[in-house]
Amino acid sequence: MASTSESYRAAADEHLERAQDLFSNESYHLCHYLAGLAVECHLRAHIRARTPVFDARHDLELLALVADFYEVVPLSRHDRFSAVFSDLNRRWRSNHRYFSERQFLDFMNDLRAEYNVKGDRRKNLARTALNHAQAIIKQGEAKWSNE
């Protein structure tokens, strides 16, 4: 069964909601993964609305370009969203689903992500991914709100 723009949007919403639940339940590694997956699904919804061609890449910055995501972003916010996509793309990989929490933290150590931030590092990593995902999906929903 082929995914539609609407099925990708529904998956994005469900993944984001589940990521929020996981964050509340202190399941930070899975929260991080689902937040990134929610963004990927949301971008695929934008792409599917334009073309039936499936792009198998998981690079969020490239998917945002293919999706013409910036068409729904006010020009004054392009730099902000470019930074958000860049940061999330650096932190999130589709293969994180295969990582143990230790492997995930090792990956983040290599990136030096949230390295000098006070508090629970795992929580901070998940919060950043979740905040990025919420911002992207909220902005991206403008496409459907304006139609």
Residue 28 CA to residue 20 CA, distance in Å, equals 10
Using CA atoms, how far apart are residues 137 and 43, in angstroms rounded to an integer?
9
- Asked whether residue 147 carries a pLDDT value surpassing 60, the answer given is no
Domain count, the chain: 1
Q: In this predicted structure, what is the pLDDT of residue 116?
A: 81
With a threshold of 0.85, does the pTM exceed it? Answer: yes
**Torsion angle (degrees, nearest 10) of CA 5, 11, 14, 19:** -120
The string of pLDDT tens digits covering residues 53-62 is: 887 889 999 9
Residue 23 domain boundaries = 5-145
Contacts of 9 (CB under 8 A, 6+ apart): 41, 42, 45, 144
More confident site: 57 or 89: 89
Contacts 24+ apart (CB under 8 A), 22-31: 22/126, 23/123, 23/126, 23/127, 23/130, 26/123, 28/122, 28/123, 28/125, 28/126, 29/96, 29/99, 29/101, 29/104, 29/122, 29/126, 31/126, 31/129, 31/130
Question: Tell me: the pLDDT tens digits for 94-144?
Answer: 999 999 999 999 999 999 998 787 889 999 999 999 999 999 999 999 877
Assign residue 85 the CATH number of its domain.
1.20.120.330
